[in-house]
């Protein structure tokens, strides 16, 4: 390496926001970036005279990511708590020469300030909630503005949101306040609680409402098509590519909002590429070398616990922090029954318009609606109402003709809901391998006892498409295919 190249490299390291460590194959520290001593609370000279084993024992690195790479001989990512109490996200990559581990390059980013901002956001959200509770008896101008913005009055068949419960109005007001910004929003909640509807409403309230709203279900795209669908491709990029090429969904969302549903199903490789797009604001199509600028507002949703997926190595920690700027948790329908009448009426209006008849619900049906648990949430409620509407021979839907769906309640028999004993951890088994084996054994057991992938999805609290993808991943046949 020439002298100018060394100086360029040194300048990059010294001016980067990340903190770099270069460690040799046995753990001795070779070099560090200047800012590392402030984050880890140890002078640079002392760090350079130490090993990662010593620093981990002294509590400076909790834990050492370089030791993890030395153990696995693979790239690693983890969260560290430094000796100064700061939280950093660390990544490390091995460097091999002739099959021998010669160096480990690690970089870390201090997330303490981000955590403080998130804590401040949580405090503001709580104060906002308290304010709403105090003013609940006398709605103020902001509440009236929310009513006007939500629309969906009694005569509006295409009503936007049915947010009548106190908790949902809090969430709607929060989204209305953050809508003018371009902050990433993470929608959390069970399948069917209305995450897509709230994402669309957020777009309508935003300054990007004149742009497109692009919705992508990450669980519905086959792995081998993910990159071409997300990033697009140039003519001739691969066999079967369209002659004129194609813009991916990231480009299609230009000037608008990109909604990635079931973000927890995004493959790790695509997580890395999505993170780069978020950081750089540009992408490169398949078969192209020219980056293209993209400008969209990102909203993502999941019914999974992303924190647990991070710990299992299934979701990138740095992407999680990028997405988790404004977290919004939508409660299950059973926890906000005040919304059921409005949701049911809106659904009934749509059904009446679609099928050209004016049917009404009888009082016994209302009792069923308000008393059911609705494990499938709004989606199950709407499907149930449509079955009831179609099965009713008269213009009044009666309770006997609108009997509850067979799978909407928990089975009473013990055999219908099997108890799954988790396997023990193997002596040389990693956490990721153990969790994968546990997932496969659980799915295999449920395939033997439950009648369909929809039943399995209800049992596990995930989407049916997610069940199908996991069965395919483990080479398991769905229940319907069993003889």
Residues 59, 38 contacting (CB under 8 angstroms) = no
How far does CA 275 lie from the centroid of its chain?
Answer: 13
What does the domain layout of the chain look like in residue ranges?
Answer: 3-110, 114-333, 338-402, 417-481
The DSSP result for 406-471, as a single string, is: TTSS--SSGGGS---PPPPPPTT--HHHHHHHHHHHHHHHHHHHSSSHHHHHHHHTS-HHHHHHHH
Residue 157 has pLDDT above 50, yes or no: no
- The reply to whether CATH 1.10.8.60 applies to domain 338-402 is yes
Smallest CA-to-CA distance from 244 within 234, 252, 232 is with: 234
Predicted local distance difference test score (pLDDT) of residue 32: 85
Residue 414 has pLDDT above 50, yes or no: no
Q: In the chain, what are the helix, strand and coil shares in percent, each to the nearest 5?
A: 45, 15, 35
d(CA 27, CA 471): 41
Q: Which CATH class name applies to 3-110?
A: alpha beta
Predicted local distance difference test score (pLDDT) of residue 480: 54
pLDDT one-digit tens code per residue, 310-358 = 877 788 888 888 898 889 999 999 888 888 988 999 899 999 999 898 9
CA angle 119, 121, 125 (to 5 degrees): 115
Predicted local distance difference test score (pLDDT) of residue 250: 93
3-state secondary structure of 121: helix
Q: How confident is the model at residue 477 (pLDDT cuts 50, 70, 90)?
A: confident
Predicted local distance difference test score (pLDDT) of residue 123: 60
Q: Taking the complete model, does pTM exceed 0.75, yes or no?
A: no
Residues 149, 198 contacting (CB under 8 angstroms) = no
Q: How confident is the model at residue 131 (pLDDT cuts 50, 70, 90)?
A: low
Q: How confident is the model at residue 228 (pLDDT cuts 50, 70, 90)?
A: confident
Residue 148 has pLDDT above 60, yes or no: no
CATH code of the domain occupying 114-333 = 3.40.50.300
Pick the CATH number of 417-481 from 3.30.750, 3.30.430, 1.10.10, 1.10.600: 1.10.10
């Amino acid at each position: 390496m020439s002298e100018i190249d060394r100086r360029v490299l040194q300048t990059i390291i010294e001016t980067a926001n990340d903190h770099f460590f270069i460690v040799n194959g046995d753990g001795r520290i070779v070099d560090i970036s200047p800012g590392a001593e402030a984050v880890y609370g140890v002078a640079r000279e002392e760090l350079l005279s130490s090993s990662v084993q010593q620093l981990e024992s002294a509590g400076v690195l909790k834990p050492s990511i370089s030791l993890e790479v030395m153990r696995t001989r693979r790239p690693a990512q983890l969260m560290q708590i430094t000796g100064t109490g700061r939280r950093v996200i660390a990544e490390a990559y091995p460097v091999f020469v002739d099959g021998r581990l010669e160096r480990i390059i690690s970089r870390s980013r201090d997330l303490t300030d981000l955590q403080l901002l998130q804590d401040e956001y949580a405090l503001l959200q709580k104060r906002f909630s308290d304010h709403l509770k105090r003013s609940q008896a006398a709605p103020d101008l902001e509440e009236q503005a929310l009513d006007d913005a939500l629309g969906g009055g009694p005569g509006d068949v295409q009503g936007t949101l049915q947010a009548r419960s106190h908790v949902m109005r809090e969430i709607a007001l929060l989204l209305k306040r953050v809508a003018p910004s371009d902050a990433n929003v993470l929608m959390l909640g069970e399948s069917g609680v209305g995450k897509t509807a709230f994402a669309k409403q957020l777009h309508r309230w935003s300054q990007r409402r004149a742009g497109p709203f692009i919705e992508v279900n990450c669980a519905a795209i086959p792995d081998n098509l993910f990159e071409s669908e997300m990033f697009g491709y140039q003519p001739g990029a691969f066999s079967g590519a369209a002659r004129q090429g194609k813009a991916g969904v990231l480009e299609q969302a230009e000037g608008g909002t990109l909604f990635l549903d079931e973000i927890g199903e995004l493959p790790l490789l695509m997580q890395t590429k999505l993170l780069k797009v978020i950081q750089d604001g540009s992408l490169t199509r398949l078969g192209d070398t020219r980056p293209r600028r993209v400008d969209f507002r990102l909203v993502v949703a999941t019914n999974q616990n992303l924190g647990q997926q991070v710990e299992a190595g299934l979701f990138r920690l740095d992407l999680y922090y990028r997405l988790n700027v404004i977290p919004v948790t939508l409660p299950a329908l059973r926890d906000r029954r005040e919304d059921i009448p409005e949701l049911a009426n809106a659904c009934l209006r749509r059904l009446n318009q679609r099928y050209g008849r004016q049917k009404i619900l009888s009082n016994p049906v209302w009792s069923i609606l308000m008393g059911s648990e609705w494990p499938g949430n709004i989606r199950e409620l709407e499907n149930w109402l449509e079955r009831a509407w179609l099965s009713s021979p008269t213009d009044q839907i009666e309770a006997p003709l609108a009997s509850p769906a067979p799978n909407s309640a928990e089975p009473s028999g013990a055999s219908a809901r099997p108890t799954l004993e988790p396997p023990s951890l193997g002596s040389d088994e990693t956490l990721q391998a153990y969790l994968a084996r546990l997932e496969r054994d659980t799915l295999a057991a449920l395939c033997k006892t439950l009648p369909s992938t929809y039943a399995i999805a209800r049992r596990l609290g995930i989407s049916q498409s997610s069940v199908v993808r996991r069965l395919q991943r483990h080479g398991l046949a769905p229940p319907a295919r069993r003889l």
